[in-house]
Each structure stands twice: as C-alpha cells, then as structure tokens.
Amino acid sequence: MSETSTPELIQVRTEGRVGIVTLNRPKQLNALNDQLMNELGAALKAFDADDGIGCMIITGSEKAFAAGADIGAMATYSFADVYKGDYITRNWETIRSIRKPIIAAVSGFALGGGCELAMMCDFIIAADNAKFGQPEIKLGIIPGAGGTQRLPRAVGKAKAMDLALTGRMMDASEAERSGLVSRVVPLDKLMDEALGAALQISQFSQMAVMAAKECVNRAYEGTLADGVMFERRLFHALFATEDQKEGMDAFVNKRAANFKHA
C-alpha cells in the first residue's frame, strides 16, 4: 500500500492520546509480510508526527501477536533477493526511528520476527497465554531482525542461546522472570493494562518522555560512561522546557500538572 491508502492487514485506532495498531492477518497468525510491515511503519510514523498522540500500542489477536515473518513468502527467496534486494528486512527499520514510546501488548504466539517486533517496542506487556521464541533454527535460518542481539540483552546469554539454538518457546511467566516482559496479566485484562500504561505515559511531558526513551535506549546500546553523560545532558536540557516549570510548580503547590505535550 502507499502511505496514504487504507491499510488492509492492520487496524488503526486512537483512544485519547494513545495510538493503537492491531495486526490483522488472523488466518496466518499475523505472519509478517512486506505489506503488513509497510502498513505498520506508515501507521507508526503518522502517530509519531501527530501532536495529539503521546504513546502507541502494537497488539495482535488472542492467538497470535505474530507467528513470525511470512514463511510462505520467504520460501523461494534466493541469496540475491534477500541480500541485494534487501527483501524481508528492508521495511523493518522504520520502527527503530519512532521517537514516542511503543508498548507491545502480546497475547498468544510471538515467534521469530514476531518476538523481534515485540522486542523492538519499548516494553512488552504480556497476557498469561503469551509464548515467545526464536524458532528460526528449525527452518534452517537464524533470526534476522535483531533477535540474536536484543534477546541476550533482555534475558542474558544462557537463555538467549537456549532459545535460539533449540527453537523452544518460553511461556509468559518464564518471560517475566527472565526480564523479557515488564508485566504479565490475565488475557482478558491485556488491553486494559496496556492502555492504562499508555494513557498514563501520554499525559506526561512529551519532551521528557522522548528524552527518557532516548536515554534508556542509550543504556541498552552504549557504554555506561557515555550513557551517564548523555543522560546528564538531556536532564539539563529539560530545564529549558515549560513542562519542567509546570511539573515542579504543580508539585510544590499541591495541584495536578497540566503538561503541554506539543
């Protein structure tokens, strides 16, 4: 689809200042193909540019957040297709460029590219039926959207090796114990929980929220010394915002803060 046409494989809606994208290829368990990833990228970019949106949620169906990249679409690709043509991977970078927070609300399978997509989000809230895994080894390949890099950072080398080398699935409680997900809730509470968190985030100062996301990502990707300096600079910079004056004045005067968001 072009960036302006109506999406077919996702559903997009808003709830207050929260933008919600629901992956919607139920018969294929939300297997991620080019069209779906293009539609997802376009929707996230539009929310990122919209001052009326402060936080986003990506979710799937009860049975599957996403069961991976579309195996049928990939099955006949050659090395030249995927290397020279950059098939499969070419439209995944958009997600990394989104500056507002994205919560993954995961129920059911989050496998392969589905697990990688969830890990590209800023944090994961899981339903108690969620199952995470990197089963690519069973297909004669390895993860291709950051799975071998983000998973060890999230759960440590031992568990990441276990998952990548055996292709086994990890249930929601193991995922929470090992640090992959921030919260586990009953399936019927998943969207309430994710929306509650997203609405809360969306009420805070947009600049402070974006700075916090940038700083935590710096911790994830760089050295401690660089990260601490980066945090210090952004911490100082936030004193140039009206939202800092508003937030602190509200606290001192025992009233609710009213942030500008834009």
- Residues taking part in catalysis: 69, 113, 116, 136
Closest to 112 (Cα-Cα) out of 183, 58, 168, 56: 168
Check residue 9 for interaction with ligand CO8 (CB under 6 A): no
Helices (H) and strands (E) in the chain, counts: 12, 10
Tell me which stretch binds ligand CO8 (CB under 6 A): 1-9, 25-33, 54-62, 227-235: 25-33
Report H helices in the chain.
34-48, 71-74, 79-83, 93-96, 113-120, 147-155, 157-166, 172-177, 190-203, 206-221, 224-237, 242-252
Write the interaction track for ligand CO8 spanning residues 71-100; mark x where CB under 6 A is met and - where it is not.
xx---------------xx--x--------
Check residue 109 for interaction with ligand CO8 (CB under 6 A): yes
Check residue 101 for interaction with ligand CO8 (CB under 6 A): no
CB of 191 to ligand CO8, least distance (A): 21
Check residue 112 for interaction with ligand CO8 (CB under 6 A): yes
Closest to 50 (Cα-Cα) out of 24, 10, 20: 20
CB of 143 to ligand CO8, least distance (A): 6
End-to-end alpha carbon distance in the chain: 29
The length of the chain, given as a count of residues: 262
Q: How far apart are CA 226 and CA 123, in angstroms?
A: 23
Question: Of residues 10, 98, 110, 111, which one binds ligand CO8 by CB under 6 A?
Answer: 111
Q: What angle do CA 160, 166, 172 make, to 5 degrees?
A: 60
Site for ligand CO8 in 143-172 (CB under 6 A): 143-145
Tell me which stretch binds ligand CO8 (CB under 6 A): 12-20, 67-75, 180-188, 191-199: 67-75
CB of 144 to ligand CO8, least distance (A): 3
Check residue 39 for interaction with ligand CO8 (CB under 6 A): no
Question: Of residues 19, 41, 101, 113, which one binds ligand CO8 by CB under 6 A?
Answer: 113
Check residue 135 for interaction with ligand CO8 (CB under 6 A): yes
Contact 115, 145 (CB under 8 A): no
Q: State how far Cα 22 lies from the chain centre.
A: 12
Nearby residues of 85 by Cβ (< 8 Å), 6 or more positions away: none
Q: State how far Cα 237 lies from the chain centre.
A: 26
Smaller CB separation from ligand CO8, 49 or 141: 141
Smaller CB separation from ligand CO8, 39 or 70: 70
CB of 135 to ligand CO8, least distance (A): 4
Number of residues that bind ligand CO8 (CB under 6 A): 23
Contact residues for ligand CO8 (CB under 6 A)?
28-29, 31, 67-72, 88-89, 92, 109, 111-113, 116, 135-136, 139, 143-145
